[in-house]
Amino acid sequence: MTTYGIREFKARVSAILRDLDDGDDVIITRRGQPCARLTPVREITDDKPSLRSLRGAMVDLPDASYEDFLEIKSLWRPGAPPSDEA
């Protein structure tokens, strides 16, 4: 993890973005105090839709309940056993 002050960050933004491509995190400081963290974008290899999109889709289902959402949400938690309820 590398730390840059705001002025240095502005002056070296292209080089810093290349560091992000290499997988390094970058901390930006203002007056010596951390104010932002830049992290590289990791490729998502999972084909599951996001929980936010599922929650939005369930709004359009008239019979969907909060319990239905919780059951679907449990499928997204690593290691969570599937529900036996039908």
Q: Where are the domains of the chain?
A: 2-38, 43-77
Please, which residues have CB within 8 angstroms of residue 37's CB and are 6 or more apart in sequence?
25, 26, 27, 28
* pTM: predicted TM-score of the whole model, two decimal places: 0.47
Please state which CATH number belongs to domain 2-38: 3.40.1620.10
DSSP code of residue 70? H
Residues 36-76 have pLDDT tens digits of: 998 887 765 666 666 667 666 666 666 767 787 777 777 76
pLDDT at 57: 66
Q: Pick the more confident residue, 71 or 85.
A: 71
pLDDT at 74: 75
Kindly indicate the confidence band of residue 4, based on its pLDDT and cuts at 50, 70 and 90: very high
Is the pLDDT reported for residue 81 higher than 60?
no
C-alpha distances in Å from residue 32, one per residue of 6, 11, 14, 29, 75: 10, 17, 22, 5, 43
pLDDT at 5: 93
Task: Name which of 61, 22, 54, 52 is nearest 39 in CA terms.
Answer: 22
